[in-house]
């Protein structure tokens, strides 16, 4: 069935008013266009013809023609009322949202959501979201931390940061650690590849095909990585890696090794080896301060880019992937630039300890 446009019949009074509006210069453009549509419709022109004459959309012409047929002159002269802006929440509600967010928890839960807070305060979830955004509150997020209780924290910090900011001449500074127990994980089913409109898929379950440990030393000046994968991470493997480092660094250079306090690094046999190799100088990070060891940044990168989403049928495949990533990295190495001074870090640690002490005393 074909749609038939509404028939428009005008009285003399209506035509006079419409013609006046269509020619007026002191009214909005839309109030001149609508009367012209109605006048042409009254003259028997169809919607398509009106649209062509006035360079308007045919759908728009049809809407105003239909509205005049239903509501008369008032339907095109007056716009429909539209809802105003969302009513702002009161200052007391805003203050309550902030206070509850930072000082309380919902019944039986560990953190607020927009829905639970909206129900508690009696506002919309969107209003809660706007308050949180305005005040930088993110109750859905949590960050982990640990303040070092090392008695020699300040001394060790200044020593290591000094190596980063002002490394000694004729020496190589190496940030060393091991990434232990890297699992060779194989998926139980093949995933779907990435394509337009769909991300890559992987099964949530997996098969374990063994582990390896990556020993790595990062030259802080160049970003180059010296590495070796081994089955275990005992003091024997650590000594094996140190010998590998010694062969990789020119014999005329001193070697400053930054490492953590893992027992393997301080084994009696390791200490004896250090005495026999005086060009090695060891600098231990404070306890609970692995963030001070720059090689951890490299471990994060290799995990994200080569390991986490990999599929490994055996340990050999995993080691090949690790070595390929390191080889690519070393072909164009870029150092991580340390910018924070020891004084800046100490100031932040002091503030953290002060807040922690207040919480423990409360």
175 inside domain: yes
Q: Are residues 166 and 210 in the same domain?
A: yes
Of the candidates 274, 268, 256, the one whose C-alpha atom is nearest the C-alpha of residue 219 is 256
SS (H, E, C) the chain: CCCCCCCCCCCHHHHHHHHHHHHCCCCCHHHHHHHHHHHHHHCCCCHHHHHHHHCCCHHHHHHHHHHHHHHCHHHHHCCCCCCCCCCCCCHHHHHHHHHHHHHCCCCCCCCCCHHHHHHHHCCCHHHHHHHHHHCCCCCCCCCCCCCCCCCCHHHHHHHHHHHHHCCCCCEEEEEEEEEEEEEEEEECCCCCCCECCECCCCCCCEEEEEEEEEEEEEECCCCCEEEEEECCCCHHHHHHHHHHHHHHCCCCCEEEEEECCCHHHHCHHHHHHHHHCCCEEEEECCCCCHHHCCHHHHHHHHHHHHHCCCCCCCHHHHHHHHHHHHHHHHHCCCCCCCCCCHHHHHHHHHHHHHHHHHHHHC
Q: Are residues 246 and 306 in the same domain?
A: yes
Per the structure, the complete domain to which residue 165 belongs is given by 157-352
| CATH code for the domain in which residue 192 is found | 3.30.420.10
Task: Print pLDDT tens along the chain (362 aa).
Answer: 456 677 788 888 888 888 887 877 777 777 778 888 888 888 888 888 888 888 888 888 888 888 888 888 777 776 665 666 666 788 999 999 999 999 999 999 999 999 999 999 999 999 999 999 999 999 999 988 788 888 888 999 999 999 999 988 889 999 999 999 999 999 988 888 888 888 988 888 889 999 999 999 999 999 999 999 999 999 999 999 999 999 999 999 999 999 998 888 999 999 999 999 999 999 999 998 888 999 999 999 999 999 999 999 999 999 999 999 999 999 999 999 888 888 888 888 888 888 887 777 76
Q: Are residues 306 and 205 in the same domain?
A: yes
85 inside domain: no
Give the pLDDT score at 273. Answer: 94
Q: Are residues 127 and 174 in the same domain?
A: no
17 inside domain: yes
Q: Are residues 242 and 203 in the same domain?
A: yes
Q: Are residues 73 and 102 in the same domain?
A: no
Q: Are residues 286 and 348 in the same domain?
A: yes
3 inside domain: no
CB 214 within 8 A of CB 182: yes
Q: Are residues 193 and 335 in the same domain?
A: yes
Q: Are residues 103 and 191 in the same domain?
A: no
Q: Are residues 218 and 296 in the same domain?
A: yes
Q: Are residues 256 and 311 in the same domain?
A: yes
Q: What is the pTM of this model?
A: 0.69
51 inside domain: yes
Q: Are residues 19 and 167 in the same domain?
A: no
Give the pLDDT score at 1. Answer: 45
Number of domains in the chain: 3
């Amino acid at each position: 069935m074909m749609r038939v446009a509404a028939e428009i019949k005008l009285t003399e009074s209506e035509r006079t008013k419409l013609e006046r509006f269509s020619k007026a210069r002191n009214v909005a453009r839309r109030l001149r266009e609508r009367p012209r549509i109605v006048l042409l419709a009254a003259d028997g022109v169809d919607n398509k013809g009106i649209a062509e004459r006035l360079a308007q959309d045919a759908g728009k012409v049809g809407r105003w023609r239909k509205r005049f047929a239903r509501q008369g002159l008032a339907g095109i002269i007056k716009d429909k009322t539209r809802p105003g802006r969302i009513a702002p929440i009161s200052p007391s509600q805003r203050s309550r949202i902030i206070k509850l967010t930072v000082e309380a928890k919902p019944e039986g839960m560990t953190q607020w959501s927009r829905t639970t807070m909206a129900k508690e305060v009696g506002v919309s979830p969107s209003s809660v979201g706007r308050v949180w955004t305005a005040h930088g509150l993110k109750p859905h997020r949590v960050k982990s931390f640990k303040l070092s209780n090392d008695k020699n924290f300040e001394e060790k910090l200044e020593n290591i940061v000094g190596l980063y900011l002002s490394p000694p001449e004729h020496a190589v500074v190496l940030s060393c650690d091991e990434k232990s127990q890297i699992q060779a994980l194989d998926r139980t089913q093949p995933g779907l590849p990435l394509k337009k409109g769909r991300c890559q898929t992987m099964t949530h379950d997996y098969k374990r095909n063994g582990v390896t440990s990556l020993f790595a030393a990062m030259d802080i000046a160049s970003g180059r990585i010296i590495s070796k994968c081994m089955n275990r991470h005992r003091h024997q493997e650590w000594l094996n890696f140190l010998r590998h480092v010694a062969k990789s660094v020119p014999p005329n250079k001193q070697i400053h090794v930054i490492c953590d306090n893992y027992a393997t690094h301080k084994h009696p046999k390791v200490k004896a080896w250090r005495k026999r190799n005086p060009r090695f100088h060891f600098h231990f990070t404070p306890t609970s301060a692995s963030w001070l060891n720059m090689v951890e940044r490299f471990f994060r990168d290799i995990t994200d880019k080569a390991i986490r989403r990999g599929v490994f049928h055996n340990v050999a495949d995993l080691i090949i992937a690790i070595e390929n990533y390191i080889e690519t990295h070393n072909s164009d190495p870029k150092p991580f630039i340390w910018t924070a001074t020891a004084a800046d870090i100490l100031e932040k640690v002091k503030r953290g300890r002060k807040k922690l002490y207040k919480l423990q005393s409360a």
